[in-house]
Amino acid sequence: MRLTPLAQGLPASVPFVGPEAQERARGAAFAARLGANESVFGPSPQAVAAMADAARDAWMYGDPEAHDLRAALATHHGIPVANVVPGEGIDGLLGYLVRLLVGPGDAVVTSAGAYPTFNYHVAGYGGTLHTVPFKGDHEDPEALLARAAKVDAKLIYLSNPDNPMGSWHGADVIRDMIARVPEGCVLCLDEAYADLAPPGTVPPLDVSDPRVIRMRTFSKAHGLAGLRVGYALGHADLIQAFDKVRNHFGLGRVAQAGALAALADADWLAEVQARVAQSRDAIAAIAAQHGLTPLPSATNFVTVECGRDGDFARRVLAALIDAGIFVRMPGVAPLDRCIRIGCGTAADMDALREALPRALDRARS
């Protein structure tokens, strides 16, 4: 096997240990699956029906242009079709973006502890990753811009709202950041949680600005994580360039049908938003009841400070997993003083309510 020198030097690993792997290791299913930022409330019934109908035609490839979905997204956002490209989730689109903009040795800037899959794409194409720390519980736009200018970065990555902390910046902060992106650099603004954020978080779209590309997904509020459907919004020249490198059959027929129906069901989205808000309140109350500090969240999870260091938080995490509660935590200090708990059903909250005090007792002992 003759791997490229770049591939030879990369570790064979994945950024996340999936709940399925953990279930196999522990020999039992989780009672509550609250660690992957999925929507346990599921997809729109209309999307389920559309996918079932499309399944009969799954012998055919999906439309390589995703014409109907692309047109619906353009109409939904009030922008031209030329400024939209669907893809295999934000993860797939990040890979294409890095492939388009980053070559061996090119500088890329992100936050230490931010979404790790982006870092894998940068490493996979030979880019040089530069990180800046979070400022408190937020990504730091000023530090990202300063580092990008210093290293002549080709690409900056920022998620707003943020994963893993659930924090967010207001639209004015993001708009100011876009205006100050250094010449020759592009800001990748990951807005996976935009549908769950409070008003005033997401700045208006301006697809005429070549300094920013914005990523959205059907995996969170729309409950279609298992389909892998996302899309990018940006300047027509950059969007058109995706046709140079993307997998043109990456979005299957069933996935396109499900996303198209989900986009049209505004009532279901509103219901999910309400249930997420209710669950965030429940998680915060459970955490506070046991002396922990829930952080404000604009996502479908709540990050909870455990009150000590990363070793203590890891013990809490391990005890919850042993109790059948799948949760995750940030992997980089000082963010690792926290655990991250996804929103769930009333039954999920009951399971968490029962397991958390025992997990804390075990971690403290």
Tens of pLDDT, residues 252-265: 999 999 999 999 99
Q: Check whether residue 104 and residue 233 sit in a common domain.
A: yes
Cis peptide before 199 (omega within 30 of 0): no
Tens of pLDDT, residues 71-119: 999 999 999 999 999 999 999 999 999 999 999 999 999 999 999 999 9
Q: Check whether residue 138 and residue 180 sit in a common domain.
A: yes
Q: Check whether residue 30 and residue 54 sit in a common domain.
A: no
Q: Check whether residue 220 and residue 107 sit in a common domain.
A: yes
Q: Check whether residue 258 and residue 127 sit in a common domain.
A: yes
Instruction: Report CA Rg, the chain.
Output: 20
Report the CATH number that the domain containing residue 287 is assigned in CATH: 3.90.1150.10
Which tokens belong to 216?
């959205």
pLDDT of residue 34: 96
β-pairing verdict for 32-33 and 325-326: parallel
Q: Check whether residue 29 and residue 58 sit in a common domain.
A: no
Domain C-terminal end among 198, 230, 264: 264
pLDDT averaged over every residue in the chain: 96
The answer for 345, left when phi > 0, alpha when psi is -120 to 50, beta otherwise, is beta
State the residue range of the domain holding 300: 16-42+267-364
Q: What's the pTM value of the predicted model, to 2 decimals?
A: 0.95
How many structural domains comprise the chain?
Answer: 2
CB-CB contact of 124 with 246 (8 Å): no
Q: Tell me, yes or no, whether 2 lies in a domain.
A: no
- Compute how many other C-beta atoms are within 10 angstroms of the C-beta atom of residue 325: 24
